[in-house]
Chain A
Amino acid sequence: MKPLPPPTGMLAELTYRCPLSCPYCSNPLEMAGRDAEMSTQEWKRIFSQAAEIGVLHAHLSGGEPASRRDLLELTAHAAQVGLYTNLITSGVGLTKKLFDDLVAVGLDHVQLSIQDAEPESADAIGGYRGGFAKKLEVANWVAETGMPLTVNAVIHRINISRAAEMVDFAVKLGARRIEIAHTQYYGWALRNRAHLMPTRAQSEKAYAEVEARRELYKGRIVIDHVAPDYHAKYPKACMSGWGRLTFNVTPTGKVLPCHAAETIPNLEFWNAREKSLGDCWADSPGFNAFRGTDWMKEPCRSCERKNEDFGGCRCQALALAGDAAATDPICSKSPLHHLIGEIAARESSDEVGGFTPRRMAPVKVVGDV
């Protein structure tokens, strides 16, 4: 086996607390509360270890990272140990003073979510009145410093007709990058799939309109476009391969290959509170379960695309095919690919309303798939 290359990025989910309640949140349905979160010292140790094992980018995320009172101290520490620091925020909960202080301690980049290009709709999706206005304010603070701003927008049935408008909006905000991500169905998005999935016609129109903006804004904004899974021919290269480049650390210290990895039963992941981050990354059985290509079954095993898309997504394979080692049913070569068409036929629609907002109280989950 080839030696394991060092990881390039760490998503630090500092907290699950968040003032917004977006129905497509990638956090798990049951979220640990404040009392279970790691301490400042524990997080600082993890950032130090991350730098030592070769992590380049530290993404400070959540939940809403500004819900942590020690965000400034953690950011300062991450910057000091040489990590490139990226604040992934809704903007809500940031004050001008805190923002200025973050810049002063070396924050490198801000990634700001927007829920829609239309203020009332945006606030309704996020479940937070005044959120949109707050985001404009934060975007202005970032623009004034000249530091890079990325806008990210998750696309679903409610805002899909304005997907391309969100690119225009990001340009007006002075963003250098925008991520337009058609909803991926995990966590809350999976739970709300029947209320979020647009029609195929809507997806195709929005996708083409966003693509057309690339040429229009060349040299002004970089567009990262995440395609709508359920209408694709091949699966996405989920996380660029399981345990290949990046990992997540949850608010309680679990080290995972992705947001949804804990939905796969019987995988053992380690906790950075108990073991070194390097060991969690390199040696935990959960990471090694789907590294490389040896775990693959047919049709992946003999597929010429296996080093391109890595068999798609393990969590989606579990959720849709009932087997985390199966080919992601999004793939047209999957024997279960017909399920995708059936789900899309049943759940995609242009009728808006009825979703369950993300919330921290444990919710009973009824069979989604």
Chain B
Amino acid sequence: MTEDDFTGEARPYLLRGVRLKHDQVRKCWVLLAPERFLRLNGISVDILQRCDGAAPLARIVDELTQKYQADRAVVERDVRALLAGLYDKRMLGL
């Protein structure tokens, strides 16, 4: 992925076969993917629940900035870091 693909207008979504699940046994959210699972913290769940292929990246960052009353640049950096990692692992589409 290049920076060009990952603009504020990009509309990230979880690829088919990648899904969020609230795990009743571990009492946490996990992201399930082929042969992999990731335990998610609260903010990661908030980010990924917004990755529906409709919401542009910029709006996701705006919403989370609002929700967490945080510095927008910091939120944007966290969102991009999570999504870029998932993109490289073939779990996320744009």
Question: How many A-B residue pairs lie within 8 Å, measured between CB atoms?
Answer: 60
Distance between Cα atoms of A204 and B1 in the complex (Å): 30
Interface stretch of the complex, out of B28-36, B50-58, B62-70: B28-36
Q: What distance in Å separates the Cβ of A152 from its nearest Cβ neighbour in chain B? A: 10
Q: What 1/0 flags go to B1-19 for Cβ under 8 Å of A? A: 1000000000000011111
The residue in A52, A109, A145 that gathers the most chain B C-beta atoms within 10 A of its C-beta is A109
Q: How far is the CA of A296 from the CA of B57 in the complex (A)?
A: 50
Check if A127 is an interface residue, CB within 8 A of chain B.
Answer: no
Complex contact A221–B17 (CB within 8 A): no
Given A147-B17, A219-B1, A222-B89, A177:B25 Cβ within 8 A: no
A54 touches B88 (CB 8 A): no
Contacts A54-B23, A148-B34 hold; do A109 and B17 have CB atoms under 8 A apart?
yes
Q: How far is the CA of A224 from the CA of B33 in the complex (A)?
A: 14
What A residues does B37 contact at CB under 8 A? 8, 56-57, 84
Q: Is the interface of B mostly helix, strand, loop or mixed?
A: loop
User: Is A6 close to B, CB under 8 A?
Assistant: yes
- A56 touching B30, Cβ below 8 Å: yes
Interface residues of A, dominant DSSP: loop
* A53 in contact with B35 given A147-B16, A177-B90, A219-B90 (CB within 8 Å): no
Say yes or no: is A218 at the interface (Cβ < 8 Å to chain B): yes
Given the complex, which residues of A lie within 8 Å of B90, measured CB to CB? Answer: 148, 176-177, 219-222
Tell me whether A86 is interfacial, beta carbon within 8 Å.
yes
Contact of A148 among B16, B21, B88 (CB under 8 A): B16
Residues of A within 8 A of B34 (CB): 86, 108-109, 111, 148, 150, 176-177
Counting CB contacts under 8 A, is B26 at the interface? yes
Instruction: Tell whether A292 is near chain B: CB-to-CB under 8 Å.
Output: no
Contacts of A108 in B (CB 8 A): 17, 32, 34
Assuming the A-B contacts A57-B35, A109-B34, are A6 and B25 also in contact, with contact meaning beta carbons closer than 8 angstroms in the complex? yes
Neighbouring B residues of A224 by C-beta, 8 Å: 35
Chain A positions 188-223 with a Cβ under 8 Å from a chain B Cβ: 218-222
Chain B contacts of A57 at CB under 8 A?
A: 32, 35, 37
Q: Which of B1, B18, B23 is within 8 Å of A56, CB to CB? A: B23
Which B69-93 residues have a C-beta within 8 angstroms of A?
87-90
Would you call B25 and A150 a contact (CB within 8 A)? no
Could you tell me the distance in whole angstroms from the C-beta of A56 to the nearest C-beta in chain B? 5
Task: Tell me the bound Cα distance from A84 to B18 in angstroms.
Answer: 10
Determine the distance from Cα of A56 to Cα of B30 in the docked complex, in whole angstroms: 9
Q: Which residue of B lies closest to A8 (CB)?
A: B37
Q: Which residue of B lies closest to A52 (CB)?
A: B25
Closest residue of chain B to A148 (Cβ to Cβ) is: B17
Residue among A54, A146, A220 making CB contact with B25, cutoff 8 Å: A54
Residues of B close to A222: CB separation below 8 A: 89-90
CB-contact partner of A177 in B16, B30, B35, B88, under 8 A: B35
Output the residue of B30, B32, B35, B89 with the most chain A CB within 10 A: B35
CB-CB nearest in chain B for A175? B90
The smallest C-beta distance from B26 to any residue of chain A, in angstroms, reads 6
**Interchain CB contact under 8 A, A84 and B32:** yes
Q: Are A148 and B26 closer than 8 Å at their CB atoms?
A: no
**Beyond known contacts A176-B90, A218-B88: 13 more, CB 8 A cutoff:** A6-B26, A56-B23, A57-B35, A84-B32, A86-B34, A108-B17, A109-B17, A111-B34, A147-B16, A148-B15, A177-B34, A220-B90, A221-B90
User: 8 A-B residue contacts at CB 8 Å?
Assistant: A6-B25, A52-B25, A56-B37, A84-B19, A86-B35, A108-B32, A148-B90, A221-B90
What 4 A-B pairs have minimum CB-CB distances, sorted nearest first?
A: A54-B25, A148-B17, A176-B90, A109-B34
